[in-house]
Chains A and B, each alone.
Chain A
Amino acid sequence: MSPPAIALAGLTKSFGPARIINGVDLTVPVGERHAIIGPNGAGKSTLFHLISGRFAPTSGTIRLEGTDITGWKPAAINRAGLARSFQVTNIFPKLTVWENVRCAVLRAMGYRPLFWRSVEALPGVAERTEEILRSIRLGHRASLAAGLLAYAEQRALEIGIAIASDARVILLDEPMAGMSHSESEHATQLIREVTSGRTLLMVEHDMAVVFGLADRISVLVYGRIIATDTPERIRENRAVQEAYLGVAAA
């Protein structure tokens, strides 16, 4: 049996005296779509920063497909097969949409920062970039500077850059943040398509999206996971209702 895509054990993170992540254990099997929900300030984004290497954990271990990646740098973690998107859009605003995606495609195809071959002549890069752009429905925007895209399009590009890395494990941090209802429905469908066959870990506030997309849900409250279960059973979980859903439904 293959090791889980992500396995967190006893993970903690403190900033000074404040313990933001307080002993998280979580196992996400390969191929699962897993959502993390929780009230504001629960530490969801911090947890993502730990897994993706932006912060080093204070204690505990992080395993990616069985490999201990605790304390690795973001670039190394990406090369090990994990890609992520950001809650606040984090793209290359002055580069074209095409170039934004191509940067991610280059690494995915194993190209180092060569300086003796034209980037346009690298086999497969243009095809793959085109494929990604079409899948996130931004083909018609290819030659526009990314900073000029409409908000929802920038969010789509954010997801596109993450999936273009060809990583087996994808972390999406509030992919629908700020989207209108129709846009977020559209984006749900998009995420379902582009993450098929991969492991997805996502943070999302939009409950319709979470319950529609996730195979399992973990509820994070004050830096701890208080429940991990299927959407139906999370909905019925009394502790979750008290801690989170009750507040959100009001």
Chain B
Amino acid sequence: MSDLADAAPAGSGWTTAQPGRASIRPRSGSLAGQAVPWLVAAAILAGAPLVLTSGTALTMMSLMGIMIVFALSYNMLLGQTGLLSFGHAVYYGLGAFFTVHAMTVVAQNRLPVPLPVMPLVGGLAGLVFGLAFGAISTRRAGTVFAMISLGIAELVSSGSNILRSFFGGEEGITTNRTKMLRVLDLNFGPQIQVYYLIAAWCLLCALLMYGITRTPLGRLCNAVRENPERVEFLGYEPQSVRIAAFSLSALFAGIAGSLAAINFEIANSAYLGVHQSGVVLLAAFIGGIGHFVGPVVGAVVVTLLQVSLSDLTEIWQLYFGLLFIAIVMFAPGGIAGLALMHGPLLRAGTAHRLVPAYLLALVPFLALTAGLVALIEMAFRLLVKAGEGSAMTLAGLPVDAATPLPWLVTGAMALGGGLALRAVRPRVAAAWDEAAAAAKEARP
């Protein structure tokens, strides 16, 4: 006994702690305080098209809205319930297909159904398939669940190529969103109207999904993620909790698919493919799965990269992959995790002490990134695009990739940047410790 006792932390205070009178309940904040972030989000969604007026921006913001719903729904599984799915696009895709069919039926029969309610069709499709596939895949979490999700994704994906009458084969199926019942004289022809439809559904879905995290189900999802066995001994079946989370998550994925179908007026097999499942995983993870807002950040960043990087370089997916690897290795909390880490320091007013160290690290970081990008682009030109010759431009500079000089310069940048980054790392860590310690002192 005694040797074990010595290993226990000394002076834990448990035996001496006096029961205090003060309330110990976690404060949940005032209703007004909770409403502020949502009002800000609503204002951004409503105001963005007034600031960013270009057609490209409007298209991109529509895609972001769709991706936000999709990534948030994915995080109900991964972040909140601890279920790593490789097949979440199944519910997104099925939501889209059912919506396109429903829209066509409504238009042909002149049914009195307006476009804005069509996402309910996708949500219902997601829910039904989520219940069915969830029931067979949620008995276990971990590897078993991940493998079954991949199997179901392959099954549905290959099924979509066989059932041509429903999925339309390679071309997919199309519809026309302007043929629905008109309400308030909106025909949803112009993209701006579609944007506001997506924005409204995005806000509604985000609110609902946030609400769910605060219900008994949401809290039990966290408990199941942490320790499913213990949950069993508390009288709840972990599988029921997982099925509930899975089908609700599929419901919201279906709504996201519906919004995509409305936006593009088409659904094809790419919607439910493994690639689409991968994109939502990346978006959620890059944004950060540990915070509700993480997938929102991830959806915005990933959509931005998809649209803008693909304009700049043909191999944008490679950079996308590198970003993902960097996040997994160096910032497992994602972008939101990195940002929110600074919250306590900002509140205590010690965050500014980090600025010099961050600036110091920024220079080698930029050198490393620029050097790597140049090396990748030159290698790509020489190995894959040899037919176009070795002369190219990098950041506006004419470069001949067949000569050693650009390789030496960019190689030195990458290597030097990497070494310098490693050298300043202790300085950044020390600055962080100092700022964190000061923040602790500032708050009793």
Chain B contacts for A221, CB-based, 8 A: none
Residues of A within 8 A of B (CB): 52, 54, 73-75, 78-79, 83-84, 86, 90-96, 98-99, 102-104, 106-108, 111-120, 122, 126, 130, 133-134, 137-140, 142-143, 150-153, 156, 161, 165, 177-183, 186, 205-206
Bound state CA distance, A146 and B134, in angstroms?
Answer: 30
B222 in contact with A99 (CB, 8 Å): yes
Bound state CA distance, A215 and B211, in angstroms?
Answer: 48
Chain B contacts for A52, CB-based, 8 A: 233
Shortest distance in angstroms between B33's beta carbon and chain A's nearest beta carbon?
14
Q: In chain B, what residue has the closest Cβ to A206?
A: B1
Choose one: B216, B230, B234; the contact of A117 (CB below 8 Å): B216
B235 in contact with A165 (CB, 8 Å): yes
Chain B contacts for A75, CB-based, 8 A: 232-237
B223 in contact with A181 (CB, 8 Å): no
Chain B contacts for A86, CB-based, 8 A: 230
Choose one: A79, A112, A186; the contact of B14 (CB below 8 Å): A186
B5 in contact with A74 (CB, 8 Å): no
Mark contacts of B2-25 with chain A using CB atoms, 8 A cut-off: 1 yes-contact digit, 0 otherwise. 001111110011110101100111
Chain A contacts for B234, CB-based, 8 A: 75, 78, 83, 103-104, 107, 161, 165
Asked, given contacts A90-B229, A103-B231, whether A114 binds B223 with beta carbons under 8 Å apart, the answer is: no
Choose one: A95, A116, A134; the contact of B226 (CB below 8 Å): A95
Within 8 A of A (CB), among B109-141: none
Choose one: A112, A120, A178; the contact of B7 (CB below 8 Å): A178
A98 in contact with B214 (CB, 8 Å): no
A181 in contact with B217 (CB, 8 Å): no
Shortest distance in angstroms between A204's beta carbon and chain B's nearest beta carbon?
11
Give the interface segment out of B142-150, B240-248, B301-309: B240-248
Choose one: B8, B226, B237; the contact of A94 (CB below 8 Å): B226
Chain B contacts for A186, CB-based, 8 A: 14-15
Bound state CA distance, A150 and B233, in angstroms?
Answer: 23
B215 adjacent to chain A (CB < 8 Å): yes
Could you say which of A73, A117, A140 has the most chain B C-beta atoms within 10 Å of its C-beta?
A: A140
Shortest distance in angstroms between B311's beta carbon and chain A's nearest beta carbon?
41
Chain B contacts for A115, CB-based, 8 A: 212, 215-218, 244, 248
B217 in contact with A92 (CB, 8 Å): no
Within 8 A of A (CB), among B19-37: 19-20, 23-26, 28
Shortest distance in angstroms between A237's beta carbon and chain B's nearest beta carbon?
23
Number of interface residues of B (CB under 8 A): 45
Bound state CA distance, A118 and B213, in angstroms?
Answer: 9
B25 in contact with A142 (CB, 8 Å): yes
Chain B contacts for A156, CB-based, 8 A: 14
27 inter-chain pairs at a CB distance below 8 angstroms, sorted by A residue, are A52-B233, A74-B233, A75-B234, A84-B233, A91-B230, A92-B223, A92-B226, A94-B222, A95-B223, A102-B219, A106-B220, A107-B235, A113-B216, A113-B236, A113-B240, A115-B217, A115-B248, A117-B215, A118-B215, A137-B19, A142-B24, A143-B24, A150-B12, A152-B15, A178-B8, A183-B8, A206-B1
Q: Which 8 residue pairs of A and B lie closest in terms of their CB atoms, listed nearest first?
A: A150-B12, A78-B235, A180-B5, A115-B217, A107-B235, A92-B226, A113-B217, A142-B24
Shortest distance in angstroms between B239's beta carbon and chain A's nearest beta carbon?
10
B17 in contact with A137 (CB, 8 Å): yes
Choose one: B4, B5, B6, B223; the contact of A103 (CB below 8 Å): B223
Bound state CA distance, A73 and B14, in angstroms?
Answer: 34
Shortest distance in angstroms between A190's beta carbon and chain B's nearest beta carbon?
10
Chain A contacts for B9, CB-based, 8 A: 150-151
A119 in contact with B219 (CB, 8 Å): yes
A116 in contact with B236 (CB, 8 Å): no
Bound state CA distance, A160 and B15, in angstroms?
Answer: 15
B219 in contact with A103 (CB, 8 Å): yes
Q: Supply 8 further A-B pairs (C-beta < 8 A) apart from A115-B244, A151-B7, A181-B5.
A: A107-B236, A114-B217, A140-B20, A150-B13, A152-B15, A179-B5, A180-B5, A180-B6
Shortest distance in angstroms between A81's beta carbon and chain B's nearest beta carbon?
10
Shortest distance in angstroms between A114's beta carbon and chain B's nearest beta carbon?
5
Chain B contacts for A79, CB-based, 8 A: 235
Shortest distance in angstroms between B340's beta carbon and chain A's nearest beta carbon?
15
A112 in contact with B216 (CB, 8 Å): yes
Bound state CA distance, A142 and B25, in angstroms?
Answer: 7
Choose one: B6, B8, B222; the contact of A152 (CB below 8 Å): B8
Chain B contacts for A84, CB-based, 8 A: 233
A114 in contact with B215 (CB, 8 Å): yes
A122 in contact with B216 (CB, 8 Å): yes
Shortest distance in angstroms between B358's beta carbon and chain A's nearest beta carbon?
28
B227 adjacent to chain A (CB < 8 Å): yes
Bound state CA distance, A143 and B232, in angstroms?
Answer: 24
Chain A contacts for B248, CB-based, 8 A: 115
Shortest distance in angstroms between A124's beta carbon and chain B's nearest beta carbon?
13
Chain A contacts for B12, CB-based, 8 A: 150-153, 183
Bound state CA distance, A94 and B224, in angstroms?
Answer: 12
Bound state CA distance, A86 and B13, in angstroms?
Answer: 23
Bound state CA distance, A119 and B26, in angstroms?
Answer: 12
